[in-house]
């Protein structure tokens, strides 16, 4: 029987991001992805205009059907959540569907480049802090890590001890493992800070930056981590290969001159992403 992950995220009809990239990646890694939409977009919000249908009012009935069918999941991953009510719905979902061994990954999609997204209120930020306590793994970028902990954001010049402190303040909120992404590490490098509760010092992983992040890179990264967690892959190894894969995709995207709004060319690189 194939392993299953419940994917709680928005669906964008056009543009490689959120559920549209998560599904093919977890499938390639041998895991069945089961989508629970939080919103449905005609195309992602990086375009000049878009249509959005908020799915909040439909989520409880949708979930009841899954419960009625006695569905079980080896993993649960969350992405874009558009309201405090949705966070409450997700908390209930985790309580209902989490079994022994279920891996929960929370990607606290809140902002980037030092700014919180316009849809996020202070109340929603507070609720997100509560949600990450349910997670086995969290994947905040540097902006999100700062907002979750009340730390002043600065784009560069981070010292290792500062990042170690930031990581452990996040772990103190309840998650077992985390990776903080998008850290500028000087000399044209970008990297991650990886930490585990009760583990040794924070591990730093860096690589040369290809270009500024495109839409969907975080979703690709989180999808690999979620599938690997379900498949029993070591967390640090998974973080390394997720980063390498995203970089490979960015290199190919630039080479093929793919329009910026359409995300990264991950489809052509899937064969590089081996199952473990």
- Domain enclosing residue 245, as ranges: 3-272
pTM for the full predicted model: 0.94
- How many residues would you count in the chain? 276
- Residue 51 burial (CB count, 10 A): 9
Report the sign of the C-alpha dihedral through residues 152, 155, 161, 165, in that order.
positive
Q: What domain count does the chain have?
A: 1
Judged against a pLDDT cut of 80, whether residue 118 lies above it is answered with no
Interstrand relation of 103-106 and 52-54 (parallel, antiparallel or unpaired): unpaired
> Looking at residue 174, what is its pLDDT?
93
pLDDT band for position 113 (cuts 50, 70, 90): confident
Judged against a pLDDT cut of 70, whether residue 189 lies above it is answered with yes
The CA distance from 233 to 230, in Å, is 8
The conformation of residue 33, written as its DSSP 8-state character, comes to E
Contact 264, 220 (CB under 8 A): yes
Judged against a pLDDT cut of 80, whether residue 124 lies above it is answered with yes
The overall average pLDDT reported for the chain is 92
Identify the CATH number of the domain in which residue 92 sits.
3.40.1190.20
Judged against a pLDDT cut of 70, whether residue 261 lies above it is answered with yes
> Looking at residue 212, what is its pLDDT?
62
Sheet hosting strand 31-41, strand order edge to edge: 52-54, 31-41, 3-12, 75-78, 103-106, 137-138, 177-186, 189-196, 203-208
Judged against a pLDDT cut of 90, whether residue 91 lies above it is answered with yes
What is the average per-residue pLDDT within 63-89?
Answer: 95
Judged against a pLDDT cut of 80, whether residue 41 lies above it is answered with yes
Judged against a pLDDT cut of 90, whether residue 210 lies above it is answered with no
* Alpha helices by DSSP H, the chain: 19-28, 59-68, 84-97, 122-131, 142-149, 160-171, 217-230, 235-255
What is the average per-residue pLDDT within 95-110?
Answer: 95
β-pair partners for 103: 75
> Looking at residue 215, what is its pLDDT?
81
> Looking at residue 89, what is its pLDDT?
97
What is the average per-residue pLDDT within 229-258?
Answer: 92
């Amino acid at each position: 029987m194939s392993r299953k992950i419940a994917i709680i995220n928005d669906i964008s009809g056009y543009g490689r991001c959120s559920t549209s990239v998560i599904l093919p990646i977890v499938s390639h890694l041998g895991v069945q992805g089961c989508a629970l939409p939080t919103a449905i977009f005609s195309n992602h919000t990086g375009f000049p205009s878009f249509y959005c249908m908020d799915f909040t009012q439909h989520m409880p009935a949708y979930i009841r059907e899954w419960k009625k069918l006695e569905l079980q999941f080896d993993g649960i991953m969350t992405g874009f959540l558009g309201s405090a009510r949705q966070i409450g719905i997700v908390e209930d979902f985790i309580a209902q569907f989490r079994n022994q061994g279920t891996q929960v990954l929370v990607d606290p999609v809140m902002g980037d480049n030092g700014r919180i997204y316009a849809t996020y209120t202070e109340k929603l930020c507070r609720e997100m802090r509560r949600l990450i306590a349910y997670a086995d793994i969290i994947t905040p970028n540097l902006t999100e890590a700062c907002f979750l902990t009340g730390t002043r954001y600065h784009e560069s010049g981070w010292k290792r001890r500062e990042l170690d402190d930031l990581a452990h303040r996040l772990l103190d909120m309840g998650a077992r493992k985390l990776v903080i992404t998008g850290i500028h590490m000087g000399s044209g490098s970008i990297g991650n800070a990886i930490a585990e509760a009760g583990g040794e010092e924070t591990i730093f992983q860096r690589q040369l930056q290809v270009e500024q992040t495109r839409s969907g890179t975080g979703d690709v990264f989180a999808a690999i981590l979620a599938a690997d967690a379900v498949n029993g892959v070591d967390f640090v190894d998974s973080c390394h290969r997720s980063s390498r894969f995203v970089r490979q995709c960015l290199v190919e995207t630039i080479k093929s001159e793919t329009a910026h709004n359409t995300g990264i060319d991950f489809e052509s690189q899937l064969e590089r992403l081996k199952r473990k």
